[in-house]
Amino acid sequence: MFRMLQVTILLLLTGVAVAQNVSRDEIRGLDEQIQDVKKDVIDLTATLAQLEEKLLFPSNSQVAFFVSIADGQPFELESVELRLNGEIVAHHLYTYREIQSLQKGGVQKIYTGNVQTGVHPLQVRFIGKTPSGRAYQADATYQVDKAVGPKFVEISILGTESEIHFKDW
Amino acid sequence: MRISLLSVLPGPARATLRVLTVSLCTLPIFSAVAGAEEHEALRDLFFGAAMFHANQENYFDAIVALDTELAQFHRLDEPELDPFSAHLGQAEFSVGDLELSYRMHRQAGRAIEAVLKGNVSRSVRNEAAYRLARIHYHKQQPVNALHALEWIEGRVPERVRAQEQFLRARVFMQLGRFDEAVELLKDLKGEKSLAGFIEFNLGIAQLKSGEEARGILELTDLGKKRSSELAEQALYDKTNLLLGAYLMEAGELQQARPYFDRVNLEGPFSNRALLGAGWAEAHAGRYERALVPWKMLQNRKGTNESVQEAMLAVPYAFGKLDVHSTAAIHYGRALDSFGSEIDTLTASIHSIREGKFLQALRRKEATQVQHWVVALRNLPNAPETHYLLDLMASNDYQAFLHNYRDLNDLYERNEAWLKSLSAYEDIIRHRRAYYDPLLPKLDEQFRKLDARIKLRLEQRDTFAGRIEQMLVSRRPEYLATADEQAVRLAMRELRRQLAQNPQGFTEVTRSRVARLQGVLDLRLSTEYDQRLTQAYKHLQELNGEIEQLQGVYQSYVRSRQAATHSYTGYNQQITRLRAQIRNYQQRLEMLMARQGSMLEALAIEELERRRTQLESYQIKARFALADSYDRANALQEQREDQRKIEQYREAQPESLPDDNPPELEAGEGGDT
């Protein structure tokens, strides 16, 4: 009988064996070093991010806006536009993964900037649709009352109700 | 290790199953677990922002955000007042999960062990133990995983209960305790978040625990399911393929074929299923039927191992059917294909050795598409990655790939930070240039303002003190107007003069002075209440103005501080951070080089294995081709001879006699 071939089920189900010239100990050692450097870079990045915030957005003038999607009807946000003091400060088009993340309860920090203490008009506009394809959009205005400390405002979008709610944090 | 389907032996079947068990136990469950998280009300904006990254699998950004929030929270004097406290437990565990996803097992393990040793409730401790067990399980340390699971006292929180039981079952399977795994998995049946995975593992556990019939039945039921979800359908296909291979190993050829037939023809396991279906028929001697799946397979992507095997299997079947000329044609085609693929593989090996593979891995555009590994080959000079698909799908290689890309990502982030630090130094320089000449003048003006403010504050305090005093005892003179005060002083002077020199003044003058004094005292006395009220109102107005003044004062102080803080005290920090980044960059470069060479070595080894395999196929095909030609020629000659004999027979006018003549018959009897 002409014997020649085999079906490679193991390749389907198991990890390919590690190359003979790469030992398990070497892999483990390298992996641990990679984990260490990841931890170090994470810590360093946190320090750098704090330095950046202190330099670029000092607390006495910092204002930040966050976008969230309210629970309820499934809604796919397509874009959000923010005008602060009449000027466009943010215009974001959402990717599929960002939409998914918002739907799971994530909150997007859409804009960080600097303003003086006092009242600043904020205009928000969103466009989106339901999974069935029905389009929704809405505009809303809010007075941002900036005091001495940093100002954080959550922009909560109720897509299928064509509404926008604001919350000071 | 590979499974021979040609040798039907019970031993290999058992060995196969042993390896399969280990591999199937490591089926990913993240997809199932991911959706199990409860959507709780958000109490802290920054926790939500961290989750925005986490939900998109931006593990690095999510870990940085959560680490920062946790560090700030733990530095607070009264952390329980911070809204983040509502998410503290979730955040602690999320960091562990994210570190695990970011392949930082040690860090995740340490964090969770800290939770275990901390003063926490039993429920939190149980969940921590489960998560620690999961880490050990992913590190392929089932004994440690079991130890961690043994720390669980009572029940784990509801949201991870099913996952904990499923993990426990898989740990038992890795430790060879299949009966216990079967019991756990039976209890779990019906759990929607793990649908499919439970049945798959249960079937394997039953096969391994000796309940072969039950195991086959369980897996058969699972394999009969259909889904529009690619991942679910892939699981069903994998189940059918596994069962088909298992039954072929056991010599149950007739039973094996339907399982191969159930595999989706468009799915990732279709090639192996078609090959298996063909061999199931070939072993049973039904070569015509074997040709159906094999010929379908033969026309698929030529880099696939099953397709290459089918290129030899098809002519092999034709040979068995004595169609040697067709077999020879197919062997010829196979040879051409193998030759061209060997050239491609050789070029790919060179390309990897030149570093093109790692270059392609580092490029971002390839990863934007779903099948980015395949897309790599479309990049300039990239190797033939179709040959590496199986290798790249393996757990080890996936971890290496992700680590390499993580390191590259960290390196690029750090490079961006280095540029940012230079930009920050520019900003600081500009701010210094702007504020340095401006601040001394402002400070001088401020000092004057400060002195005036202090004076006014002192005056206000004096007035306030007097009014307080007047509420206790009447002091009308305090409420005299400026003119009245002048008159009072003049009168006092006159009285002094009258006292010093009584003879120097007339009686009229003295009585006038007394009358004037009386008039003044009467006015101050009668208007006292009204004036006191007015004075109090004025003091309130003054307080309001002073408050405004103090607001301006504070605002100036803050602005002055902010101006100073915007450019002083950064230089040393930036210098230190830059040195740190550069140090990490060196480490990252070294680790990338090591991880990269490991990836290259494994890729080259895989390509060389495939090339060696194709070369051996080539040799076999050449021999088989020659053999087919010989057989085809022999058959043709045989047919030609047959044809000549028939022609000769047809040319004979009469047939030869069958029996001997009588005289010969008589001669043969001899004398008696």
Where along chain A do its domains lie? 1-56, 62-168
Q: How far is CA B313 from the centre of its chain?
A: 42
pLDDT tens digits for range B142-195: 998 999 899 888 888 888 889 999 999 999 999 999 999 999 999 998 888 888
A45/B562 touch (CB, cutoff 8 Å), yes or no: no
User: DSSP assignment, residue B85?
Assistant: G
User: What is the number of other CB atoms lying within 10 angstroms of the CB of residue B657?
Assistant: 7
Average pLDDT of the residues of chain B: 84
Average pLDDT of the residues of chain A: 85
When pLDDT is averaged across residues B565-586 and rounded to a whole number, the result is 93
| Residues of chain B found within 8 Å of residue A10, distances taken between Cβ atoms | 1-3, 16, 19-20, 23
To test the contact with chain A by mutation, choose from B17, B26, B56, B425 the residue with the greatest count of A C-beta atoms within 10 A, namely B56
Query: What is the per-residue pLDDT for A139?
Result: 94
- For the ranges B126-130, B222-226, B468-472, the one whose mean pLDDT is highest: B222-226
CA nearest A24 in B: which residue? B396
* Cβ within 8 Å of B, A 131-150: 148
For residue B100, the one-letter residue type is: L
Among B51-60, B112-121, B596-605, the range scoring the smallest mean pLDDT is B112-121
Three-state helix/strand/coil letters over B425-459: HHHHHHHHHHHHHHHHHHHHHHHHHHHHHHHHHHH
What gap in Å lies between CA B191 and CA B194, rounded to an integer? Answer: 6
When pLDDT is averaged across residues B610-633 and rounded to a whole number, the result is 90
A12/B269 touch (CB, cutoff 8 Å), yes or no: yes
When pLDDT is averaged across residues B321-328 and rounded to a whole number, the result is 89
When pLDDT is averaged across residues B291-295 and rounded to a whole number, the result is 94
B53/A106 touch (CB, cutoff 8 Å), yes or no: yes
The answer to whether B584 touches A37, Cβ cutoff 8 Å, is yes
Q: Is A96 on the interface with B (CB under 8 A)?
A: no
User: Which tokens hold the place of B42?
Assistant: 């958000």
| Residues of chain B found within 8 Å of residue A52, distances taken between Cβ atoms | 420, 424
Query: What is the per-residue pLDDT for B13?
Result: 39
CATH node for A62-168: 2.60.40
CA nearest B591 in A: which residue? A34
* CB-nearest partner of B245 from A5, A7, A152: A7
pLDDT tens digits for range B55-99: 998 999 999 999 998 888 888 888 888 888 888 878 887 888 888
Give the predicted TM-score (pTM) of the model.
0.74
Q: Would you call B269 exposed, middle or buried from its count of C-beta atoms within 10 A (0-12, 13-18, 19+)?
A: buried
Cα angle B532, B537, B543 (rounded to 5 degrees) comes to 125
A34/B103 touch (CB, cutoff 8 Å), yes or no: yes
Among B354-368, B391-405, B637-651, the range scoring the smallest mean pLDDT is B354-368
- For the ranges A5-19, B79-93, B178-192, B655-669, the one whose mean pLDDT is highest: B178-192
SS3 B154: coil
Nearest CA-CA distance, residue B669 and chain A, Å = 54
Higher pLDDT, A19 or B236: B236
pLDDT tens digits for range B423-443: 999 999 999 999 988 888 888
| Residues of chain B found within 8 Å of residue A99, distances taken between Cβ atoms | none
CA nearest A10 in B: which residue? B2
* Cβ within 8 Å of A, B 547-566: 555, 558-559, 562, 565-566
When pLDDT is averaged across residues B643-671 and rounded to a whole number, the result is 66
When pLDDT is averaged across residues A119-126 and rounded to a whole number, the result is 96
Q: Would you call A134 exposed, middle or buried from its count of C-beta atoms within 10 A (0-12, 13-18, 19+)?
A: exposed
Q: State percent of chain B over pLDDT 70.
A: 88
Query: What is the per-residue pLDDT for A169?
Result: 85
Is the model's pLDDT at A40 over the cut of 70?
yes
What gap in Å lies between CA B374 and CA B363, rounded to an integer? Answer: 13
B51/A104 touch (CB, cutoff 8 Å), yes or no: yes
What gap in Å lies between CA B38 and CA A87, rounded to an integer? Answer: 39
CA nearest B598 in A: which residue? A22
SS3 A98: helix
When pLDDT is averaged across residues B644-652 and rounded to a whole number, the result is 84
B305/A39 touch (CB, cutoff 8 Å), yes or no: no
* Cβ within 8 Å of B, A 3-62: 3-22, 26-27, 30-35, 37-52, 54-56, 58, 60-61
Query: What is the per-residue pLDDT for B34?
Result: 36
When pLDDT is averaged across residues B448-469 and rounded to a whole number, the result is 86
When pLDDT is averaged across residues B594-614 and rounded to a whole number, the result is 92
